[in-house]
Amino acid sequence: MSRFRGKITKIASDTEVSLKFRALKVLPARAMPPKSRLKTLKESVLAGSKRIVIKIGSSLLAHSELLTPRWSFIQQLLDDVKMLRDEGHEVILCSSGAVALGLNVIDETPETAGLRDKQAAAACGMPLLLNAYKQVAHEFGFDIAQVLVTLRDLEDRRRFLNTKNTVHRLLEADIVPIVNENDSITTEEIRVGDNDRLAAKVAQMVQADHLIILTCVDGLFTKDPSEPGAELVERVEDVTPYLAVTDGVSDLGSGGMLTKMQAANMAQNAGCETLIGNGEAERPVVSLLDGSRPHTKCVALTEPVSAWTAWLTDRLQMAGCVTISDEAATALCRGERGIERDDILSVQGMFVRGDVIHVYDEQGVERARGLANLTAEETLIVARNPDIAPAQLLGFQTHATLISRNNLVVLDDRHIPWEAPPEDQVESIAAA
């Protein structure tokens, strides 16, 4: 408590609003936007748009020094949400901030907190974050609901569909879902790691028309925005050329511009347009949608992939991979067949049945992704014994097909390929 009091002298105007809000519980209603703004919004990129996913970074929701809620920002954000809802749009929020808001409770800082500290901070901070959203949403006359997810909820097909059903039911009830990763139980190995790509997965899940990523800069720049000569990139059709310049992570957040570009690519594939802009602005969402301030627009593909293909190809983590012969890769790309045991040269990872695995050729180029019919161990066994029936090797009736043709998608230019794992992490079929 003494540490908190010692920082009171550094409170900015935003925090003064915070203290007043906490004491009175109700802030004066914001002035209604002018009719010209409403008209501009209707005629903007929102024409024909129904669902909007908004991702909010930790640095916008929590004071960098005090680690308390930024009430004035939350009020401006939800004021925009109300305006969009009044215009007939469905809004889903993907919110960071739980870990940052909980650090004070466990007497830690972003610089000193380890994994266990962050898990505990997430458990403490989530009620604070949801309480802030709840109070302000009540002021604007709508309800919110929390949807906590883990990596498996998005990577496993059945759990993905269960999550999708929950979000859709909330939207049917006119409730604003607030989606966040359950950081209190995740570890580095089993976590999404950033809410940018999580938000893109949600946008794919609900077939959103727009993904809005609010951050602490105006958008994507040609180089680090702090360097001389950095220019804002206003329109992006292909994110690939910009991946090399998208480094940097804030102290409070886990995602930099790289994850935002990856998220934009995932959204593009699903036919969803992405807007990336600074959240430190009056009407942070509406001013991006009506084009009244600088931002980066990542345009959607005119011919998006199916929902099934988007889920299968846009992965958050690699469960495992196999390397196949060039001959098999050529046949695969022609759509002639799936992947048989005779095609496999090496296996990496401890994938299980139903995991999506990455497929590489002999040059290390990723060619496809597909659902595994066998575990990694079973794959090694059948591939190393090509003359023995799979049922005799494994003890149950099955085929020697690792990935069926119908459960495989060949990658094209729209997908960002993943690098092949190092050779010391790969188990060769010939090594037995």
CATH homologous superfamily of 29-310 equals: Acetylglutamate kinase-like (3.40.1160.10)
Please tell me the predicted confidence (pLDDT) of residue 413.
81
How many helices (H) and strands (E) would you count in the chain? 16, 16
- Measured CA to CA, the distance from residue 105 to residue 117 in angstroms comes to 11
CATH topology of domain 318-431: 2.30.130
- Map out the domains of the chain as residue ranges: 29-310, 318-431
pTM here is 0.84
- What are the pLDDT digits (tens) for 232-288? 999 999 888 887 666 544 443 444 688 899 999 999 999 999 999 999 988 999 999
Q: Do domains 29-310 and 318-431 have the same CATH topology?
A: no
Largest CA distance in the chain: 77
pLDDT at residue 229 tops 90: no
> Do 365 and 417 meet the contact criterion of CB atoms below 8 Å apart?
yes
Please tell me the predicted confidence (pLDDT) of residue 42.
56
Q: Containing H/E element for 346?
A: strand 344-348
Q: Facing residues of 51 across strands? A: 90
Q: Which pLDDT band, with edges at 50, 70 and 90, does 423 fall under?
A: confident
